Structure 1
Amino acid sequence: MKRSRLPMLAVFPLSVLAVVVGTPLFIGNQPVRWDSGSVLPRLVFGNDGSGAGNSTSATGTKKSASPNSSSSSGSASEDTLKVAKAWKEGMPQWGVQLYWEEETKKRSDDFVVEQARKHAKYLISLGANSVSISFPFYTGGRTSNTLTAGAKTPSAERLQKVLKVFEDAGFRTTVRPIMDEASLDPPTGWRGNIEPASRSAWFASYLKLLTPYLKVADQDKANTFVIGTELNSMEGAPGWDSLVASAEKVFSGEVAYDANWDNYVSGRINMPVSHLGVDAYFPVKVPDNASVDRLAEGWNTWLDKKTTGDLPNITLAEAGIGAMNGAYKSPGDFYTKNPVNPQVQANWYTAVCKVVQERRMSGVYWWSIYFDDDPNTPPDDKTASRLDFAGRPKSEKAVKTCFTSDYAGPGSAAAQ
């Protein structure tokens, strides 16, 4: 089993999950706040979680660009790939996490470019306007101070080729390196409980790793660079100030952090970044035949532990679920392969989209599509993750219905 294909929550310790699910969270209307101890500007959420009243804002708007235009049908020809309606500030981010493990010895540059085009065409057919390119980097263990590229880490040069395909097609783009967990003794060890022996050495190693990718992201005018994902135990560490400041000298777009769902609802996320994403795998204890409204109610129950009302500055950086029986109680479970139930996945997607729109969120990215896969081919349920949605007609219909809805986004007049 290839761990690097797991969803972000897949190895969340079961004992911790039980505590999170079973213990009431009496945190009231506690705002998300990024630590105010640095000279760097920070986005500080108001008590309603909306971020209203902040004078500093980073939108991730493209640094050059006139909007791309194409037919409203969202179709793409073999020769021309263009999103139906290019993303602009204030619009929802309708996207997918494209997970890329490099296969340098097997794949030529031409293959990589054509594969990117294939995914761009597929995403256009769904009505997407955004894509997040996630790829692994590696560490030696939970206490290691060293972070490195590995055999499956795409080079910055290869990343640039893929970014160009999506940029030329008019997509909003995010670059998202994520720590692989194979060396962390999952499921008890995961990226959220690492404890480097020397945090200063860890941050120095991390900056060295990230810098080539930050440069490429800037050159190709990516909108967002995710500086960290689900690093619960490292949140609030002083080293982030210097790391983010260095990143912002290289990359002129939006620097973001993606928090795990448990930390998001239970306390403050202290990170010196301009945007917060949430990897959202909220468990909902309902039967497989639960209605979309009941699933949305379960999501809102979780979100209300943080704050009620609109969440215009929150992006669901990851949302997904297995297309199988029993998935609602553990939506990020990669390991289990219960009997396939496509309706479970489709209803979940519909419910999540409903919540995104009702709470005026900035968008959602579905987990996930694997870069080497053909998105037009149904998944092999003997080997594929149940979380795969490409090639599942009911799930694809739910995604397309979401992406082509009339929700204008948190910046629309209706949200004012």
Structure 2
Amino acid sequence: MSRSQLPKLAVLPVTVVAAVVALPVAFGVNPLRWSEGSAVPRVVTDDRKPAAEAAAARPEFADPVLDPAEPVAPPPPPPPAGEPEPQVPRVAQPWQPGMPQWGVQLYWEDMQTDDESAIRGKARRLADYLVSLNANSVALSFPVYTSGIDADEVFAGPKTPSVERVTPVVETLHAAGLRVSLRPILDERELLPEWRGAIKPKDKDAWFASYRDLLLPYAEMAEREDVATIVVGVELASMEDEVARWNGFLAALREVFGGELTYDTNYPNFLENSSRVPVDSTGVDAYFPVKNQPDDASVDTIAAAWNTWLDQRSTGPMSDVVISETGIGAQNGAFAAPGDFYRYGTVNARVQATWYTAVCQVVKQRQMAGVYWWSVNFHDDPTTPPTSANSRLDFAARPATEQAVRGCFGGAPAASPEDPATSPTGSPTGKSTTKPPSGTTKSPTTKPSSKTTKPSGGQTTRRPTATTSSSD
């Protein structure tokens, strides 16, 4: 290469840097997109198209959408004609106020090919599994949609289960004695490369009105079916200070729903106690990174790192805090980025089991109000071992992690992954429960009365990196 060519070669990087700085001013967002294997970006003026392209290209998003590479497990066969549906197993000790919520997040992207029998069959399969884990609570998460980062409307999409389709799932979960929460999550397909915590509706009044109208039918159904909690928002960081608008939104829901209204914030906002959503309680989506630790780090090491994070908020017991969502990939290097839903690294089941055991240890030490593990897909058979195509965050049918969950939910300390043992079973930690009041449901069994109101608490997310230093 001659020296005369060097000044010419310097033009490209200078041009790219100038574009990165200047174009956002013109377009309002950064319109540059890099394709894999290309050193030169392309300019995009319609941000929705690359978001859809990215959604189609990724096997898994930050929310565990149904991965086309993963086979969908068929539902259990319905009972023969004329025979009643078999009763589902029931939790040994249904949740009552004063007890921790030992829960799992079920993520449901609706499949319109499922009829009611298939929906009930899948729900029954999952209820059986949750009971086998000693769970007493479940959150049913499902997607709702918007058309862009500055859109003014929230709406149901083809994968949003309707009220009519959610109802039999709630009935089946209640028949198992589980405390049920409904948890709509704003899908991010049309927001990439941004996330739900960065939405900036041009007309916030219109946004809240559309969201209210979307949720009201679910709230009416939740009242009829004795649902314990509606989570009114998840990780909507940019909307958390809209107190007046939230008050109007919540007032409309409270006219039709007498249960608990909660909000789940992300972990940086939890540590800063910055959420101002005026709900009954605030949950935390907790994906605290634990950096500079090897894959064989001990349970006590991970638990100590979690406590270091939590101490930034407060020390000692946190009885008003529910870990509304947490999990980690069963893969090497996951401690440093537990909420990385994009990476498919080398499978390491011990990493996940250690994390679950440590988190449970902290929840019990801090006397927290509960924890929900993320997640089980509604369409999966949770007894089928995951393959290389599955998200590393899947914990169902990973024996070491299931052992940790059973030990946690069973009330006794979970066995250490370094020393596997038969996990203890029994009742969740908490007050003794009396027979729950009866409720009306199509199920032949009695569902627990689970509505209650807790003091406000604050909580967390996985997306933005916290500004505080992570634990070593």
TM-score between the two structures when normalised by the length of structure 1: 0.79
Name the residue aligned to 2:184: 177
Structure 2 letter corresponding to 1:405 = G
Kept in 2, the 8 Å contact 1:261–1:281? The answer is: yes
Q: 1:205, 1:270 → 2: CA distance? A: 21
How many angstroms does 1:5 deviate by?
Answer: 6.1
Structure 2 letter corresponding to 1:301 = T
Structure 2 letter corresponding to 1:94 = W
Name the residue aligned to 2:91: 83
How many angstroms does 1:4 deviate by?
Answer: 10
Summarize the Cα distance change of 1:221–1:8 in structure 2 as closer, same or farther, 3 Å threshold: same
2:280 paired residue among 259, 274, 277: 274
1:43-192 paired onto structure 2 within 5 Å: 79-104=87-112, 106-186=113-193, 189-192=194-197
How many angstroms does 1:169 deviate by?
Answer: 1.4
Instruction: For residues 276-308 of structure 1, give each alpha carbon's deviation from its aligned partner in whole angstroms, at most 9, with x where no partner exists.
Output: 110000000111111000000111111111111
Instruction: For residues 15-63 of structure 1, give each alpha carbon's deviation from its aligned partner in whole angstroms, at most 9, with x where no partner exists.
Output: xxxxxxxxxxxxxxxxxxxxxxxxxxxxxxxxxxxxxxxxxxxxxxxxx
Kept in 1, the 8 Å contact 2:410–2:429? The answer is: no
1:232 paired residue among 229, 233, 237: 237
Give 5+ residue unaligned stretches, structure 1. Answer: 11-76
1:259 paired residue among 262, 265, 274: 265
Instruction: For residues 189-219 of structure 1, give each alpha carbon's deviation from its aligned partner in whole angstroms, at most 9, with x where no partner exists.
Output: 0000100001101000100111111111111
Name the residue aligned to 2:329: 322
Q: 1:179, 1:312 → 2: CA distance? A: 28
Kept in 2, the 8 Å contact 1:9–1:281? The answer is: no
In terms of Rg, which structure is larger? Answer: 2
Kept in 2, the 8 Å contact 1:360–1:410? The answer is: no
Summarize the Cα distance change of 1:316–1:292 in structure 2 as closer, same or farther, 3 Å threshold: same
Structure 2 letter corresponding to 1:377 = T
Q: 1:254, 1:100 → 2: CA distance? A: 21
2:205 paired residue among 197, 200, 211: 200
Q: 2:320, 2:166 → 1: CA distance? A: 28
Q: 1:125, 1:228 → 2: CA distance? A: 29
Kept in 1, the 8 Å contact 2:152–2:203? The answer is: yes
How many angstroms does 1:250 deviate by?
Answer: 1.1
1:288-327 paired onto structure 2 within 5 Å: 288-327=295-334
Q: 2:159, 2:217 → 1: CA distance? A: 16
SS at match of 1:98: strand
Asked if 1:217 is matched to 2:222, the reply is yes
Q: 2:213, 2:401 → 1: CA distance? A: 40
Q: 1:7, 1:116 → 2: CA distance? A: 24
Asked if 1:339 is matched to 2:355, the reply is no
Kept in 2, the 8 Å contact 1:227–1:255? The answer is: yes
Q: 2:429, 2:406 → 1: CA distance? A: 16
Q: 2:355, 2:127 → 1: CA distance? A: 24
How many angstroms does 1:79 deviate by?
Answer: 3.2
Give 5+ residue unaligned stretches, structure 2. Answer: 1-54, 66-84, 414-427, 433-472
Kept in 2, the 8 Å contact 1:175–1:226? The answer is: yes
Q: 2:376, 2:343 → 1: CA distance? A: 19
How many angstroms does 1:267 deviate by?
Answer: 3.4
How many angstroms does 1:123 deviate by?
Answer: 0.6
Q: 1:249, 1:406 → 2: CA distance? A: 41
Summarize the Cα distance change of 1:409–1:397 in structure 2 as closer, same or farther, 3 Å threshold: closer
Instruction: For residues 223-268 of structure 1, give each alpha carbon's deviation from its aligned partner in whole angstroms, at most 9, with x where no partner exists.
Output: 0000000000000202101001111111110000001111111232
Q: How many residues of Structure 1 are paired with residues of Structure 2 in the alignment?
A: 342
Name the residue aligned to 1:401: 407
How many angstroms does 1:405 deviate by?
Answer: 1.6
Structure 2 letter corresponding to 1:283 = P
Instruction: For residues 94-124 of structure 1, give each alpha carbon's deviation from its aligned partner in whole angstroms, at most 9, with x where no partner exists.
Output: 11000000001x2111000010000000110
Task: Tell me the percent identity.
Answer: 49
SS at match of 2:93: coil
How many angstroms does 1:81 deviate by?
Answer: 2.3
How many angstroms does 1:6 deviate by?
Answer: 3.9
Summarize the Cα distance change of 1:279–1:9 in structure 2 as closer, same or farther, 3 Å threshold: farther
Kept in 2, the 8 Å contact 1:9–1:333? The answer is: no
Structure 2 letter corresponding to 1:403 = F
Structure 2 letter corresponding to 1:110 = S
Q: 2:336, 2:281 → 1: CA distance? A: 29
Structure 1 letter corresponding to 2:356 = Y
Name the residue aligned to 1:55: none
Instruction: For residues 156-197 of structure 1, give each alpha carbon's deviation from its aligned partner in whole angstroms, at most 9, with x where no partner exists.
Output: 1110110000112110000000000000023xx000010000
How many angstroms does 1:409 deviate by?
Answer: 5.1
Kept in 1, the 8 Å contact 2:60–2:342? The answer is: no
Q: 2:249, 2:177 → 1: CA distance? A: 30
* Structure 1 ranges of 4+ moved more than 3 A: 1-10, 77-80, 406-412
How many angstroms does 1:410 deviate by?
Answer: 7.1
How many angstroms does 1:78 deviate by?
Answer: 5.2
TM-score between the two structures when normalised by the length of structure 2: 0.70
Q: RMSD in angstroms over aligned alpha carbons?
A: 1.9
